[in-house]
Amino acid sequence: MLAIGLIAGLAIALGFILGSIFNGEDGETAGGSPSAGPSASAAPSTSASVAPSVNASASEAPGPSAPAPLVAAPQGRIPSGSVVRVVTDGLRMREEPSTESTLVADLPVDELLVVGYAPQRSDWGPVSAGGFAWYPVIRTATSELPPLPEMVGGSSELGWVAAGDEAEPYIQLVEPRCPARPVNLATIEAMLPWEQLACFGSEQITLEGTYGCGACGGIFPGTFEPSWLAHPMNFDLLSTDTTTRLGPFGLRFPPGGPAAPAAGQIVRVVGHFDDPAAAGCAVSPGEPPVPIDPQAAGLYCREQFVVESIEVIGPDPEWPFG
């Protein structure tokens, strides 16, 4: 299963899971035959086809006692790290954001897709091509989100889909799964990045787990400001059970804030999403660096968890790195 571990891992370690947005004029569906050729300079449309719908169906809405989201999706943009539902028959998933790209799959109505960031691309979105607004997605091979704290599963199929045309949307944003408070690490790590931001906003959260990433690190080309918040490799992990996996929940330590403890320590962390520093985020992946859309960069930085304080409880006897 392509669980949230992969999704959050890409969002943190790569810096980005998948995501970008795109629009359409002719129906990019199994039965459609788009006549417009690709146009990289075309401006993304903000029609209803790409405007995120928070009016999810009753089966997707939180239960009666579930808290409502605190952060709304930006108008005209489906956030990366969210889930969308296919709402038109025969939607085409393609290898690249183009009507001429290789077909990956014809998607059935009701299938859920995880929207993400396009790694090492400068066109996170919104980006228009061939008259369509496109998003990079991962298939989940299901029509229902699991209840928390189960993680979102998926298939190995990655690709791009058009958001819709002037007549109808092809995909619809699914309501985030917002948990009751207080929340623990097992629940919050099972949430997608957009769910975490939408459900908690800048609310202060206390979590317990094992700190440390083991073999994390590496090089990611590009420029990222502020580096402590935006750089794909400036993070560490908080784990519920280090005998099964490390992470996928990532921590960001701000300058002037608490120092990171030694790896392998059980810690109590207080922190928040939606840090004010996200307002100045600039993300330019690649070599040479190419800036992405400022709103996409801001959303990515708002989805990071920033540490306010951290208390060491004791060593984790199961820590796998000695």
Structure-token pair, residue 204 = 């202060």
Flag whether 243 is in a domain: yes
DSSP string for 63-76: PTTSPPPSSPPPTT
Total domains present in the chain: 1
Is 193 in a helix, a strand, or coil? helix
Provide the pLDDT for residue 226. 97
pLDDT digits (tens, 9 = 90+) for 245-261: 999 999 999 999 999 99
Read off the pTM: 0.82
| 106 is a domain residue | no
Alpha-carbon gap, residue 148 to 189, rounded angstroms: 10
Instruction: Report angle CA 96, 60, 297 to the nearest 5 degrees.
Output: 45
Please choose, from the candidates 60, 134, 66, 69, the residue with its C-alpha nearest in 3D space to the C-alpha of residue 95.
134
Question: Does any domain span residue 200?
Answer: yes
Q: Which two tokens stand for residue 120?
A: 């090492």
Residue 261 domain-assigned (yes or no): yes
Please identify which residue in the block is written with the tokens 């006692």: 65
pLDDT at 124: 64
Instruction: Check residue 52 and give its pLDDT.
Output: 37
List the pLDDT tens digit at each of the 322 positions of the chain: 333 333 344 444 333 333 222 223 345 564 343 323 333 233 333 332 333 333 343 334 444 567 999 999 998 889 999 999 999 998 999 999 999 999 999 999 999 999 987 655 656 655 788 888 899 999 999 999 999 999 998 788 999 999 998 889 999 999 999 999 999 999 999 999 999 999 999 999 999 999 998 767 678 889 999 999 999 888 899 999 999 999 999 999 999 999 999 999 999 999 999 999 999 999 998 889 988 888 889 999 999 999 999 999 999 999 998 6
Q: How many residues does the chain have?
A: 322
Q: Is position 291 within any domain?
A: yes
Range of the domain at 259: 185-315
Query: Is 91 within the bounds of a domain?
Result: no
Question: Is residue 74 situated within a structural domain?
Answer: no
What pLDDT score does 299 carry?
93
- Round to whole Å and give the CA distance between 294 and 33: 33
Q: Which helix (H) or strand (E) holds 224?
A: strand 222-225
Per-residue confidence (pLDDT) for residue 293, from 0 to 100? 85
Please tell me the distance from the alpha carbon of residue 306 to that of residue 204, in angstroms, as a whole number.
10
Residue 3: burial class (beta carbons within 10 Å; 0-12, 13-18, 19+) = middle
Give exposure, 54-67, as e/b (b: 16+ Cβ within 10 Å).
Answer: bebeeebebeeebe
Q: Can you say whether the dihedral through the CA atoms of 289, 291, 296, 300 is positive or negative?
A: positive
Task: Report if residue 129 sits inside a domain.
Answer: no
pLDDT reported for residue 75: 87
